[in-house]
Amino acid sequence: MIKVSIVGATGYVGIELMRLLQQHPQVIIKDLISKSNAKKKLVDVYPQFRGSKLENYTLIALEDFQPEDSDLIFSALPHGVSQDISSQLIKSGTKIIDMSGDFRYHDIEIYEKWYGVEHKHPELAKKAVYGLTELNRTQIKNAEFIANPGCYVTASLLGILPLIDSDLVKTESIIIDAKSGVSGAGRSLKSNLLFTECHNTMKAYSPAVHRHSSEIEYILNEFLQGSYDSRSSEQRAEILFTPHLIPIKRGILTTIYLDCKRKSSDSEIFSLYEDFYGQEKFVQVLKDELPEIKNIAGSNFAQLGFKYDQRTDRIIVISVIDNMLKGAAGQAVQNMNVLFGIDEDTGLQATALFP
């Protein structure tokens, strides 16, 4: 059995990790660490865990945590906070999956520019393995420290990678229009996330300057330059990314616009996606329909669909994921399974929560 602990256990991602891991047949949850709720019973903070394996757990403070007693630690802390704590925890020799944005870039200058935070541990960031499972499975198998991707980034990359791998599309003019449920903003109290502020409305935020813009672009360029496979290209990716907040709890729908270099067809494009994801358990490529959030919410599946516009030689890709699962906790558990040589879908077989 794998002994796992969660730092930042009472945030939304921490809750999803607990929900998944308590049902995992090869996992024992050892410690649940929470700064704001230390010494409280878990069920007093989240009553939904009554009757579960976690019913009698008490949340502990970080200073009372013994990381060396765990086989794996999930760090579900915000960026800026995570870098100091994860850099200390890794000294215990325990493997870590970090859920923040602090370790997703080997190029620290990009991180500091987009996050506005000094990175105090660049040596750890440079050795972190990027945790998009479908892209980087081989390195994840042998990793000591995994940086889990952002939720918008996961949805975007899954939709784009097969097309730039095929050299069918122009990489310097990719437009991404993404819409996310409110849980993507985290659990902290913010006036713009109150029910009366976000119900019955929809709004764009941080167009062109959202932090995930840099992560999407950075990973695409690493891929183009051969960091994740044997290819090497002189091309550079440039994306324009606009996120939107929509009045649902969970889920991301990403619409991606790409210009083709030449004429194509629906059958060719479908074949490209099938070849790229044919063996993947959690990526579903739809042929004659477009994805919807309701069909993946509550699951670790990503669904991809597309429309080729012959008139403009553009491809419109629709990618949907649950931001809390494939975009966060589910992908982290998927990476844990890869890391410990377990069947990748263990503990992640749940289908969507529809209706």
Look at residues 111, 321, 336 and name the one whose alpha carbon lies nearest to residue 215.
111
Which one of 151, 182, 219, 224 is the catalytic residue? 151
CB neighbours of 181 closer than 8 A, spacing ≥ 6? 246, 248, 249, 250, 251, 252, 293, 323
How many CB atoms within 10 Å of residue 230? Answer: 5
CA distance 323 to 78: 16
CA distance 75 to 84: 11
CA distance 83 to 96: 12
Between strands 2-7 and 95-98, the pairing is: unpaired
Alpha helices, DSSP H, located in the chain: 12-21, 42-45, 82-89, 108-115, 122-127, 133-141, 151-165, 195-198, 211-224, 266-277, 329-339
Where would I find the beta strands (DSSP E) of the chain? 2-7, 27-33, 72-75, 95-98, 129-130, 145-147, 174-180, 203-204, 239-245, 252-259, 283-285, 302-309, 314-321
Which of helix, strand or coil describes residue 340? Answer: coil
Helices 151-165 and 133-141 cross at an angle (nearest 10°) of 100
**Is 151 considered catalytic here?**
yes
CA distance 187 to 11: 6
8 A C-beta contact, residue 41 and residue 57: yes
Catalytic residues: 151
